[in-house]
Structure 1
Amino acid sequence: MTIHAVKICTGIAMVSMAMLFFSCKDNYKRVGEEAKKEIFPQGVAENFVLTYTEMQENLSAEDTGASKVLAVISGPLRNDFENLAFPHQTFPEGLLVEIFNERNERTTIEADYGIYYTATAIIDLQGNVIIKGHDGKKLEAPQLYYDQENEWAFTQEKFKFTNPEDGTVMDGEGMDIKKDLTFLNAHKTFGLMLIKEDKDD
């Protein structure tokens, strides 16, 4: 066989193999266990406001008493998936969380998207997450998790923390912080800090 004949046979074999691979389609219709299950929310709320309160004392069936507002969650859209094995709520168009301390001072948390996992009481905040404390402190991150039970926020993403009280701007990667921004544990940091010097006369 000549070299020319080998090249022709190789070319025909390659074209045949290419046609074989490109002609294959997945026309198999999946049914039963293989079928993709579509998940729909059991409820949808638009322009919602959820207020979480706590009673100061236990009440009996016909008592009256005062309650304290712990948090207010609001936003344009909330999807309720509480009927699933791992219940959760999604906030696809963003949300605002207002948290109140014992002195009724407000800390706000804003995000472009959020998921609240009911079983674990953790809120996954994503996209332009901003926490503003009542004293002007501000934390910015692309993603942040907020643990409601421990009143603690954490992330492994980059963050920026601004403290107007001492004039610091701290950038870093990965941190844990108390809900009122009074305690910050940064994993990796870099930033700017102004230090006042004492003038001796």
Structure 2
Amino acid sequence: MDIYKSHRIFLVCSVILMTLISCKNNFDEVKKIGVSENAPIGIAEGLNLKYTDSGRVTVNLRSPKMLDYSNRIFVFNEFPDGIDLDLFDEENQRSNVIADYAIVYDKTGIIDLQGNVVLSSTSKDTLFAEQLYFDQKREWLFTNRPVTFRTGRDVINGKGFDSDVKFTKAQVLEIDGIITLDE
């Protein structure tokens, strides 16, 4: 009987020990239950975001919807219904950016604007593009897609665009034609 009892104790202890060893910490996986990895972690609707610097509005972003994907390894925010963005310089002059769709990548600082992109500067220069990228760190605009750039009396059509945000170094690439308008 003692041998039978000791075998039973050994067997129970072995089962408990194996159960403890085979368990793993899956708390992070448990937290994700109910949240699809492809779904945004947050949704904002009727967005009207104003950024101020020293009490002065410098940016005003409006969008019908923003999807927050900060639950991903490569964090991004998506604006599936477009954006309307006003940028104000030191003299409170307004530049405007409009696009049908936008996506902002946090790690790279790149903003991808798509569909009927229109960028109007304070100097009344206007860029029309199918797609335009903005590098926030370098403050640089670029694309390799067709563009129309209206500057002064000239309307320049081409495939590609490269410029700083103030259009002081604006360059239309692969120019298809230039039209000079009468005043």
TM-score class, shorter-chain normalisation, is 0.7 to 0.9
Q: Deviations over 1:78-129 (max 9, x none)?
A: 0000121000000001111222222221111100001011111211000000
* Partner of residue 134, structure 2: 146
* Partner of residue 44, structure 1: 43
**Displacement of 1:144 after TM fit?**
0.4
Any idea what SS the aligned residue of 1:114 has?
Answer: strand
Residue identity in the other structure for 1:108? N
Residue identity in the other structure for 1:170? I
Residue identity in the other structure for 2:124? G
| Residue among 159, 166, 170 paired with 2:156 | 170
Matches within 5 A, 1:4-83: 38-54=37-53, 66-83=54-71
Task: Name stretches of at least 5 consecutive residues in structure 1 with no aligned partner.
Answer: 1-36, 55-65, 197-201
Provide the rounded CA distance (Å) in 2 between the counterparts of 1:109 and 1:195: 24
Residue identity in the other structure for 2:61? I
TM-score (norm 2): 0.73
Q: CA RMSD in A?
A: 2.0
**Displacement of 1:49 after TM fit?**
1.6
**Displacement of 1:171 after TM fit?**
0.3
**Displacement of 1:192 after TM fit?**
2.3
**Displacement of 1:39 after TM fit?**
1.2
Matched-pair contact (CA < 8 Å) for 1:107–1:179: no
Provide the rounded CA distance (Å) in 1 between the counterparts of 2:140 and 2:48: 22
Provide the rounded CA distance (Å) in 2 between the counterparts of 1:142 and 1:192: 19
Provide the rounded CA distance (Å) in 1 between the counterparts of 2:181 and 2:84: 35
TM-score (norm 1): 0.67
**Displacement of 1:47 after TM fit?**
0.8
Percent identity over paired residues: 35
Any idea what SS the aligned residue of 1:131 has?
Answer: strand
Task: Name stretches of at least 5 consecutive residues in structure 2 with no aligned partner.
Answer: 1-35
| Residue among 125, 140, 144 paired with 1:156 | 144
- Alignment of 1:130 onto 2:122: no
Q: Deviations over 1:123-166 (max 9, x none)?
A: 10000000011222110010000112222111010100012x3x
| Residue among 78, 91, 108 paired with 1:103 | 91
- Alignment of 1:179 onto 2:173: no
Residue identity in the other structure for 1:180? K
